[in-house]
A and B are shown apart, each in its own frame.
Chain A
Amino acid sequence: MREERDVDLSVQDGSCSLEVVSQRASQTQRIGMALGGLLQAGDLILLDGQLGAGKTTFTQGLAKGMHVTDVVNSPTFTLLKEYMGSQSRDQKESAGAPLALYHFDLYRLDDPDEIVDLGFEDYFYGSGVCVVEWAGNADELWPADRLYIRLSTVDETKRRLLFVATGQRYCELLQQLQKNMYAITRS
């Protein structure tokens, strides 16, 4: 019998992809946390998947990985919530500034022009980390280099996470994430 593989990385012309199956919400958060710990200023993370697929759950973990102490909840109503990560020990040693997290939710927007009108683009090239839920509602807007994550429902608690990285920075990020992730998906 073939051993079930939970983590699978493939590399293909400038983009890398990785598929992970999370058994439950707490594991989805831990995967998010592992990614959050690797992020740096200017990073763009796009999330997609239907209602209840775990986008906000994943982002909560990601925020924890960035040492955000505030409660992260759904930004659907306000479209954008800003958080400030507190300084980790590593950052203090290297005198780095704490990172801002910009948590977007485009659920209610159908027209990418609305996002341009709102001035959201300024954030995407700014000094914090941008996480965008329902990124598919503005497909043509995103720069070529980004990390795209599609979440889908397998059953009540199980979720499939497909990571697609484009550009060198994000491919390296994904490779590092894969290394850190074995421990999580084995638990």
Chain B
Amino acid sequence: MLVLGIESSCDETGAAVVRDGRYLLSNVVASQIEIHNRYGGVVPEVASRQQIAAIIPVVETALAQASCSWDDLDAISATYGPGLAGSLLVGLTVGKTLALARNKPFLGVNHLEAHLYANWLRDEPAPAEDAVEAALREQPGDPLFPLICLVISGAHSEIVLVREHGDYQLLGRTRDDAAGEALDKVSRVLGLGYPGGPAIQRMAQQAEDAYVEQKKSVKKARNVYRLPRAWLRGTYDFSFSGVKTAMLHLAEGATDATRTHEEGKPSTQYTRYTRMGEQAAQAGAPDVALLASGFQEAIVDVLAVKTRMAAQEYQVKQVILAGGVAANLSLRARMRQELQPLGIRLSYPSIDFCTDNAAMIASAAFFHLSLGERHGMELDVQPGLSLPFRK
């Protein structure tokens, strides 16, 4: 089954053609990261204006790259939530219109669910065309149910138990900031720019390389900062606002020693972390790379350990990562370390499919379409959509 997927939930405009939910024929993304870089994040009105201009050429390019005509397509799909209303509207309207005009079945896709299905996409070429029944069966390389999925992005940090296609149980979620959001905010505070995840990973890598070169322990060095970790024991919930605030105070202490705090004390003296930052500054230039490394470690530590604990408790065969932060190399390595001794499989999408893309939309659509699901033209955008959790 050949499915066209369209994605426009946030700052990307994408279209892709995917066979049987797994094999990529084309994947086109018009990124607006450079525009949004100026704002330190996505600005909705700017995003949707860009998407209107980009969407038709993106769809045409996806079909051309797949060497596929409208007649070859079996169905059309588009994201209908969650995301920014104006942005969603662009992709959904184009998807529905094309389906109506070309007389193809249409399916609206939940963007979060699609991030999970990025784990079904693979780089190898498509085999000879399968019957739908065969494609629906588990194939070598598919994730194995039951599985634990860690959904981590700018807006989400959730641990989800997935027993079967479409059967989701929420085990834990963030109580304040999402992991990606904390990375973005801290990156801005450290002057590293947007998007924060890759910027912090790059700086952390610099620190780690430098310490390896000097044959010193980076772990020991960054432990000077003793960043807090919110374990929230007895739950699978996360909290990243504490470590975010600690980082802010560290940076403030290190860079802002001259300003006087309202309490009459120097601004760098009002919390443990501002004092730590000041000491670091006095000992020499504050080491931004080392700070980035310590912060990334604090986030990865909690994500990896809690996900491993959930995998053990629910005795799953596999853990999958989904969402933009799944691209983080430090998280991938740490997850592998946690799971390998237990014999639990780990998979994550290739970097291109961690961030928003249309291939994952076509993949998720395939599994729903194969079960006979369709959406009518009345389907509307749902900006606040979540995964369809069982009650």
A residues near B (Cβ < 8 Å) are: 50-52, 56-57, 71, 73-74, 76-79, 81-82, 108-110, 114, 117-118, 152-156, 160
Contact in complex: A155, B271 (CB < 8 Å): yes
Closest-by-CB residue of A relative to B262 is A152
Contact of A56 among B82, B241, B249, B272 (CB under 8 A): B241
Known: A74-B178, A118-B44. A52 touches B244 (CB 8 A): yes
A155 to B246 alpha-carbon distance, docked (Å): 11
Q: A118-B45, A155-B271 are in contact. List 17 more A-B contacts (CB 8 A).
A: A50-B248, A51-B185, A52-B241, A56-B176, A57-B176, A71-B173, A73-B173, A73-B174, A74-B176, A74-B181, A74-B241, A76-B185, A77-B154, A77-B155, A82-B384, A114-B43, A153-B270
User: Which B residues are CB-close (under 8 A) to A78?
Assistant: 82, 84, 155, 383
Known: A74-B181, A154-B270. A109 touches B43 (CB 8 A): yes
A183 to B271 alpha-carbon distance, docked (Å): 27
Tally of A-B Cβ pairs under 8 angstroms: 74
A50 to B271 alpha-carbon distance, docked (Å): 15
B residues near A (Cβ < 8 Å) are: 39-45, 82, 84, 86, 154-155, 173-178, 180-181, 185, 189, 241, 244-245, 248-249, 262-263, 270-273, 383-384
Closest-by-CB residue of B relative to A108 is B41
Closest-by-CB residue of A relative to B178 is A77
Contact in complex: A73, B248 (CB < 8 Å): no
A52 to B174 alpha-carbon distance, docked (Å): 16
A78 to B45 alpha-carbon distance, docked (Å): 13
Closest-by-CB residue of A relative to B155 is A77
Contact in complex: A52, B245 (CB < 8 Å): yes
User: Which B residues are CB-close (under 8 A) to A118?
Assistant: 44-45, 86
A19 to B323 alpha-carbon distance, docked (Å): 42
Contact in complex: B263, A154 (CB < 8 Å): yes
Known: A73-B174, A78-B84, A156-B271. A108 touches B384 (CB 8 A): no
User: Could you tell me the distance in whole angstroms from the C-beta of B383 to the nearest C-beta in chain A?
Assistant: 8
A-B contacts, 8 listed (Cβ < 8 Å): A51-B248, A73-B173, A74-B178, A76-B185, A79-B44, A114-B43, A118-B44, A152-B262
Closest-by-CB residue of B relative to A157 is B271
User: Which B residues are CB-close (under 8 A) to A155?
Assistant: 270-271
A51 to B189 alpha-carbon distance, docked (Å): 10
A157 to B55 alpha-carbon distance, docked (Å): 48
Contact in complex: B176, A110 (CB < 8 Å): no
A65 to B155 alpha-carbon distance, docked (Å): 25
User: Which B residues are CB-close (under 8 A) to A117?
Assistant: 45
- Which of A73, A109, A152 is the most central at the interface, judged by chain B CB atoms within 10 Å of its CB? A73
Contact in complex: A156, B272 (CB < 8 Å): yes
User: Which A residues are CB-close (under 8 A) to B86?
Assistant: 118
A146 to B45 alpha-carbon distance, docked (Å): 27
Closest-by-CB residue of B relative to A52 is B245
Contact in complex: A110, B262 (CB < 8 Å): no
A50 to B25 alpha-carbon distance, docked (Å): 47
User: Could you tell me the distance in whole angstroms from the C-beta of A94 to the nearest C-beta in chain B?
Assistant: 29
Contact of A74 among B41, B177, B384 (CB under 8 A): B177
User: Which B residues are CB-close (under 8 A) to A56?
Assistant: 176-177, 241
